[in-house]
Amino acid sequence: METKPMRPIRLAQDGRTVEVIDQRQLPHRLEMLSLDTVAQVIEAIQQMVVRGAPLIGVTGAYGVLVALRTTDDEAAFLEACAQIKAARPTAVNLAWAVDRVVACAMAAPAGTARQAAVLQEAGRIAEEEVDNCRRIGEHGARIIADISRAKGGQTVHLLTHCNAGWLACVEWGTATAPVYVAREMGIDVHVWVDETRPLNQGARLTAWELGRAGVPHTVITDNAGGHLMQRGMVDLVVVGTDRTTFTGDVANKIGTYLKALAARDNGVPFYVALPSSTFDWQLQDGLADIPIEARHADEVHWVQGATRDGPARVRITPADSPAANPAFDVTPARLVTAFITERGVCKPDRADIAALFPEKVQ
């Protein structure tokens, strides 16, 4: 079985064209899409062809390259980059990556040298995220190993929400990386996969990823987790995040907060796995200050699936009922057991985060 079979973003053989897996088609079809224009990059991020905080960041980074290639005018280039940066509001990785590559572009002389600098910086961000996720996997696997030992080697049951796997990153994933590494260590792990309405990233993407890697898993409805925790069927929860304040508040896919509440009520440890690119080093109060994306109500009204003949959409609400679709929620730091980062595991508070990232927190 393959744990890192492919990447959700790559440069084509010509070394120029940015290609991404069209995640809207999974698990039914594995198709690549080329992103040749800034409009295509923005649409891919907004329509969730690519999604997941680290991958949105890497796509934004390559988007700067696309912007540079499609205009010679510096003001137009900067405006295009600003538009890419604003494509989705919650995952801080997008703005972080675009700013980093734009700064690199502006430090290089215009022309081919600038293009080379941008290409190199975007590639560097992608490779850094691979390395970060691998390290998150190593640190997180130790937590799973401790639980396995405490259970006398019996299966460890981990619950996750949304997709924080390699599809959401570049390789390994954040929440899934500890699972992959634990299995390499010979630890018996089973994953409860929240379906994650309305777009079903758990049911469609996490289940697909885990299945390809041969990881035992079970898809559950979003509301089943609390019930399983009450019956002692969950040993730990591990989720990803789109933006985490340096004080420890965690924005992640809608429904994460309810899992954290249920975990606290049942004494189940609740971990958040994240690379440093997902920390917001400016914001203190997650509830007040993290922008929460409101997505289109149609994602609630219509369920997307497939039949043998191809994609199919089914309406599930009455024609006249309005729907609301907040895409993320904020789990306060007090409900988080610990963060699993590339530099190690820390408590969800300013002092502990600062101890791991002293150059970021004053």
Interface residues with ligand MRU (CB under 6 A) are: 51-54, 91, 162, 164, 168-169, 174, 201, 240-242, 252-253, 327
Contact 97, 52 (CB under 8 A): no
Provide the pairing of β-strand 189-194 with 217-220: parallel
Name the minimum Å distance from CB 68 to ligand MRU: 25
H or E stretch covering 225: helix 225-230
Instruction: Indicate the residue type of 282.
Output: Q
Name the minimum Å distance from CB 77 to ligand MRU: 26
| Closer residue to ligand MRU in complex, CB, 67/170 | 170
| Closer residue to ligand MRU in complex, CB, 235/329 | 329
| Closer residue to ligand MRU in complex, CB, 68/353 | 353
Residue 242 among the catalytic residues: yes
- 191: tokens are 């994953």
Rounded to the nearest angstrom, the gap between the alpha carbon of residue 115 and the centroid of all alpha carbons in its chain is 28
Contact 104, 119 (CB under 8 A): no
Is 305 known to sit in a ligand binding site? no
Is 53 known to sit in a ligand binding site? yes
Is 85 known to sit in a ligand binding site? no
Is 253 known to sit in a ligand binding site? yes
| CA distance readout (Å), 210 to 90, 154, 162, 163, 203 | 26, 20, 13, 11, 11
Rounded to the nearest angstrom, the gap between the alpha carbon of residue 89 and the centroid of all alpha carbons in its chain is 14
- 261: tokens are 């509440």
Is 51 known to sit in a ligand binding site? yes
Is 88 known to sit in a ligand binding site? yes
φ, ψ dihedrals at 228, nearest 5°? -65, -40
Is 343 known to sit in a ligand binding site? no
Name the minimum Å distance from CB 133 to ligand MRU: 8
| Closer residue to ligand MRU in complex, CB, 156/327 | 327
Name the minimum Å distance from CB 274 to ligand MRU: 7
Residue nearest to ligand MRU (CB): 240
For the chain, the helix, strand and coil percentages under 3-state DSSP, each to the nearest 5: 40, 20, 40
**From the candidates 194, 235, 242, 329, which is the catalytic residue?**
242
Distance CA 163, CA 201 (A): 5
Name the minimum Å distance from CB 56 to ligand MRU: 7
| Closer residue to ligand MRU in complex, CB, 144/327 | 327
Name the binding residues for substrate. Answer: 51-53, 88, 201, 252-253
The residues that are catalytic are 242
